[in-house]
Structure 1
Amino acid sequence: MPTAPTVGECQVWRLPMGSGHWGGFDVLDQDERERHGRFLRAADRDRYQAAHVGVRLLLGHYLGVPPAELRFSRHCRHCGAGHGKPVVEWPATTLDFSLTHSGDWVGLAVAAEPVGLDVQELAEGTEVAALSSTVLAPAELRWWAGQPAETARTAFFGYWARKEALLKATGHGLAVPMSTITLTPPDVPAQLVEWSGDRPLDGPVRLYDLDAGPGYMAAVAVLTTEPVRITQAEFSGTTLSGEPRPAG
């Protein structure tokens, strides 16, 4: 069975979609069940189920409490409002987590330091040229404009995944424009070059690209000064062998 990450470790789990992997909804609270029921498309319901049942099962296992008894908070650590990144409110823990989904990829990152995870599907319908000035900083735009067409699209989504992961780790979200963040190009190891946003960066950050398979770009960010060991695996309701699964 998996063990909780310690300082210097980050676990990235892919959560498979489909009710057969999770065996029911009894671990979700009333608000989560209502939100799940409001999705009109089956694929959206499956993504929500995978993310929210998966995170409860895994964190409940790590923290030694029934998954349904976990409580989460969205208090922003910068301003105190209720729009922040979800964190475990009870029981008390130093573990942090980040959820993401794109296409049929649903992911969960867990670490002992603040963490952010993002996956981007290389969707053909996305007009990357129209979005480039919103996502890319001036130096990145200059680099990106010089790339051949066959690699420019992949590079754009690589930048996007890295920046989303970073902003999830810091908890800033949309409050800090991505165009104020300069990173190394996606063809070299991920690293923060410049943070010029009005809001200060929480501390040193480590950025890592992930292998999310064909058609996807992914990255994880951890707020720490030291290198982080990243592991990737699949997690579902059957991963916790020997523990009861949610009732169907």
Structure 2
Amino acid sequence: MLPGEESMLGAGDIHLWQVDLADERWDSGQVVLHPQERHGMDIERRRARTALRLILGHYLEYAPQHLMLIRDELGKPHLADKPLHFSLAHSNSCALIGLSRVSLGVDLEREDESLNCSRLFDWVCHARERFSLEALPLALHRAFYYRLWVAKEAYCKAIGLGLRKPMTSFWVRHFGRGRYDIVDPGEQGGYRLRYLPSLPGWTAACCSRLVAPRLNCYWATPSAQNNVLKLSA
């Protein structure tokens, strides 16, 4: 069931939509895409963008094909003249879309068991996080890497810098009972982090300035009605 008026996005809410990009039914909705979206992306990105437009159109009660998705001076995508923030991430055959009234970032990653993460820690791990890493058994290093990666990429998206922000310049701080924030000497603080429930083999996180956001999670699936692709949940 799609969120109705009683559960639509409030000031302290974050709504999270998971999308199965292996579902070929998304392809029949590509009419909602702009030409450069249809021709400048691979099939999974087109399906993710189709789902994003349908979801945004539902919340704004606006035709998804007429939404103007633009980028700011830092390259962060946003809606032109619409009071709704979004973040889109996709990995392999799954996408995650976050919606809020404040700036946010989401990320998810499919865990690769063959990944040699030891060579990547120099790129992603702050000096303070090295102490936590070195205290872990080797068998847990891969999970630690993915949790760091999704947390940091979600934060970089929230502040609009993406991967231009060096991940070693800030750190993820755990302050008890599943609560995390971002400590970044180079930016104004106040960003909180939530790790998200996800499918086995996936890691996901969401970052925003909301101290205690109300999270609502949905599965986005396509539904053809009268030869028009609709969103269902």
TM more than 0.5: yes
Could you say which residue in structure 1 is the equivalent of 2:11? Answer: 7
Residue of structure 1 in register with 2:138 after alignment = 149
Q: Could you tell me which amino acid in structure 2 is paired with residue 5 of structure 1?
A: L
Matched residues in 2 for 1:243 and 1:7: separation? 35
Q: Deviations over 1:117-147 (max 9, x none)?
A: 0001211343211110110100101211220
Amino acid at match of 2:58: H
Q: 2:163 aligns with which of 158, 165, 174?
A: 174
The answer as to whether partners of 1:22 and 1:236 remain within 8 angstroms in 2 is: no
Superposition deviation, residue 66 in structure 1: 0.9
Partner of 2:31: 26
Percentage identity across paired residues of the two chains? 25
Q: Which residue of 2 aligns with 1:84?
A: 75
Q: Is residue 206 from structure 1 mapped to residue 192 from structure 2 by the alignment?
A: yes
CA 1:187/1:211 → structure 2, altered by over 3 Å: closer, same or farther?
farther
Indicate yes or no: 2:229 matched with 1:245.
yes
Matched, 1:219 2:205: yes
Greater mean alpha carbon deviation, residues 182-191 or residues 21-30: 182-191
SS of the residue corresponding to residue 31 of structure 2 reads: coil
State the match for 2:67 in structure 1.
70
Q: Does 1:233 align with 2:218?
A: yes
| One-letter code aligned to 2:154 | A
Answering whether residue 20 of structure 2 is matched by residue 16 of structure 1, we say yes
The structure-2 alpha-carbon separation of the partners of 1:97 and 1:193, relative to structure 1 and needing over 3 Å to count, comes to closer
Instruction: Name the count of aligned residue pairs.
Output: 225
Check whether the contact 1:183–1:191 (CA below 8 A) recurs between aligned residues: yes
* 8 Å Cα contact 1:159/1:186 also seen in 2: no
Counterpart AA for 2:209: L
In 2, Cα distance between equivalents of 1:96 and 1:141: 33
Normalising by structure 2, we get a TM-score of 0.88
Q: Deviations over 1:66-116 (max 9, x none)?
A: 1110111111xxxx2xx5111011xx2221001111122211111111110
The answer to whether the 8 Å contact 1:27/1:53 transfers is yes
Structure 1: tracts of 5 or more residues without a match: 40-44
Structure 2 residue identity aligned to 1:174: L
Deviates more, 1:203-212 or 1:182-191: 182-191
Deviations 1:18-59 (A, max 9, x none): 2224533100001101113xx3xxxxx1x2132100111111
* 8 Å CA contact 2:37, 2:46 repeated in 1: no
